[in-house]
Structures are given as C-alpha cells and as structure tokens.
Amino acid sequence: MRAVVQRVGQASVTVNGRECARIGPGLLLYLGVDRDDGEADVSYIADKVRHLRVFPDEADHMNLDVVQAGGTVLVVSAFTVQADGRRGRRPSFDAAAPPDRAIILYELVCEALRRAGLSVERGSFGDYMDVVSVNAGPVCMLLESRRAF
C-alpha cells in the first residue's frame, strides 16, 4: 500500500460538479492499494498517518500529529499512486489492486483512522474526482507499507 500525504490548509473533492468532501487544516491522503495488500498494510498506513508529526508546535518545529493539531484527514483513492514509471513513457498499473479488492482495503484504512480518533472525510471511490488542495508548507511525503523506499 502506498500513500502520498500532504499537509493542507484545506482540501476538497468534487465529482460531476458536486462537492462531496471538504476539510480545513489537516492531511490529504492519496491512497493506492497494491494487489498483494492485506490487513497488515492497512494497519501500517493508518498508524503512520495517525502519528506523523508534521504540524508545527509553538516553536514552529514539526512536532505535532494531526490530532494534536486539531486537523482532519481526507482520504482519496488513487490507483495511480501504484504506478510504475521506470520503463518507457506510459506508466504500468499492474501492481494496483482490482477495484473490488481495493475498495475493501480503502474502507478499512478509513475505518482504522476513524478508530484511532481522527475525523475522516472520503473522496468518491472509483469516480473521476477534481481534488483541490492548499498545501501548507509545502509538506508532502510518501509512505509505503512494504518500506520499499
């Protein structure tokens, strides 16, 4: 499982001209599910996101996690996070889980985050989404449950 995590001042998701999710300060999480992912990958990503210390403390050091900062998480399914662009000019998505499997693990990540005390908003799984965000920092990081990087 891979995730691109951005610290945002705000973010929203629109599908077919209708806004379906919006957050203020918090984390925007683009989640890509691998065809071999399971519950251990869900736990790893949820725990990492919950405890990432990427928000500034009173000394302006990145020492606070999203709960301590009073933030929200917006989780957007993005199979393209699983893209392999090492060969040629067209990325391969062979590692991405099929939608029927990916949605189960996507929902499990959202629920794990919620159980960990986070306020969670969701994109619209499988739909074409317009995602708008204001990256705060900018702060962006990559997470990978298999620790490949």
Instruction: Retrieve residue 47's tokens.
Output: 């725990």
% of the chain beyond a pLDDT of 90: 97
Instruction: Retrieve residue 3's tokens.
Output: 């995730």
DSSP for residue 58:
T
C-alpha closest to that of 11 among 115, 91, 86, 121: 121
C-alpha closest to that of 122 among 21, 15, 5: 21
pLDDT in tens, 61-106: 999 999 999 999 999 999 999 999 999 999 999 999 999 999 999 9
Q: Is the pLDDT of residue 127 over 90?
A: yes
DSSP for residue 41:
H
Q: Please check whether the domain covering 2-144 is classified as CATH 3.40.50.300.
A: no
Give the E-state strand segments of 37-89 in sequence order: 55-56, 62-64, 72-77
